[in-house]
Structure 1
Amino acid sequence: MTSSAITASGLRKAYKDKVVLDGIDLDVPTGTIFSLLGPNGAGKTTTVNVLTTLMKADGGTIRVAGHDVATETKAVRAAIGVTGQFAAVDELLTGRENLQLIADLKRIRPAESKQIVADLLERFDLTESAEKLSSTYSGGMRRKLDLAMTLVGRPSIIFLDEPTTGLDPRSRRTMWEIIRQLVADGVTIFLTTQYLDEADRLADRIAVLDGGRIVAQGTPAELKRQIPGSHVRLRFASDLDLETAATILTGATRDAEDDLVLRAPSDGSAKSVRDLLTHLDNHNLDVEEFSVHTPDLDDVFLALTGKTSTTDTTDTTSTTDPKVSA
């Protein structure tokens, strides 16, 4: 495996006269969580379909797990796992039988497959429910089983499409922990999600896709710093200190809710805040309290795409779950 699990250069895809992907570039480092965000119709599902060999690109170079997607399809499929938005479990089978079915389809030797199934049931806390029909499972259990089925083939790269849609808060956090554990084991995660807080908590890097183009890439913190509105909230002991600070801090404004609080523009970085406090200290001004306020990913999403984060983030193109296609 190279240092990049997924790379794409100039990726293009069109349906007749409609351009869906207009020359996008991606670089996903091995052993990280990469999240692709974008409004409805932005091209996210098309991107995933191309990267997972379910669809051919019209142009560009794409490598997944070091293999060319166009010419080394089987090698790519052997290295990846895909978990779709809806749990692809067979409700007529038990949890154990669902896992064993995938192992059989992947032609894993019986002795080895039995151990793999047992290990996955334990890892996902499904051992006690292993002999129950999956139709009796809760939403969170079904999602865990679905992901466990993806892991039967021990993929090095996993594509997760809306992994926590419809889950309650406890189940969401359980899924987040499972995802973090996978990355700790060296697995690379390519995540699409409609929950921006999920991307904020999990992703090492985020790309925002809009109109078939990548409009921004970076860590969650880097993306937030691109959006105006970051400031440091400074609380002073007296009105005199506040007035003095207001004269020496360019662009500072009074807080509308607290007469002793000043809002000073800042990009939110450690250096910016340190320089600000040092500047005040040089003028013998003591700050009783301070806090850094930066835009969240909702603000980033709205500023970059012109749409709110409540917009459905799935594409019009459906995704097939290719758990057994390798």
Structure 2
Amino acid sequence: MDRHSNVATFTRRWIAAGFHALASVATWAWRGPARARAGSPIVHLAFCCLFITLPAAIASGKTIDVDSVLIRLIDEVDVPARAAGALAAVHVSEGTVVEKGQLLAQIDDTEAQLDHKRAAYELDIATRDAENDVAIRSAMKARDYSQKQFERLFRANVDRPRSVSESELEKARLDAEQDAFEVEKAHSELENARTRKSLTANALAMAERNIEVRRIVAPQSGEIAEVLHAAGEWVTPGEKIFRIVSIKRLRAEGFVQADQVTRDLKGAPVTVVLRDERGQRQSFSGTVVFVSREIDPVNGQVRIWAEVDNPDGRLQPGHRAGMSITLD
């Protein structure tokens, strides 16, 4: 039982004990002589305390008792295959306790590994191409030379008219323009190489993903409850391979009367009491986390369930137990 429940129980018992004690004093005083009754300060004190204690006793923490709740699983997950292939290995069996992320089985990934190697080589080539600016520097050298050659011929023709033919001058001008275009082309090809690098990087990431999806890992910590395939069997994406359950927290599901449902019911502390085969009581603390908004028209009840801590695993799914809900 948690601290909240202990405090509420202690408060109710203390108020009840005080109420009965004061009632006894008042009764004794009232049955005494009339003169004592009329002016006795004990009588006045007793009745004052009664009027103070009675509302407090009535308003003290209210308890809703649910005679029978069913214990159910909360943390339960089916683990499927994420790729098609033959199971190369199965590393767990029923009853194995696993941690989140632990490898449970391996689908054959031979082809995926080869694709990964090819993608890695292609990325290496693309990286070198994306970082190689030799073509740009070569084109810039050729452009600078042809531009200067054109300028020399042009000045020579100005200084000595007709020393350079028109066709020769025109060819030099066209060569200079063509080399300028080659510089732009080299820049464009370098940008394309960088884009190819990004594409091959994506291809490598996809190859890594294809390897990863062939590893079947535990999505949560718990215990293997079912193993549905053995090594060597063919599986397809979405096909269930394992079932994992955890009983560290469980759901206690039951019903209360609709007129017992209040605003503070959700979030209220609960105590689940289980009696073992020897009749011994075992208590578990929890909290109401769900209150249905639907009322059963036949019996006027509302479904609720509480989340109960079960660190020692003493409470098991399928148990029937009692539950007390403490309201402020």
TM-score (norm 2): 0.23
Q: Which protein shows a greater Rg?
A: 2
**Higher strand fraction (1 or 2):** 2
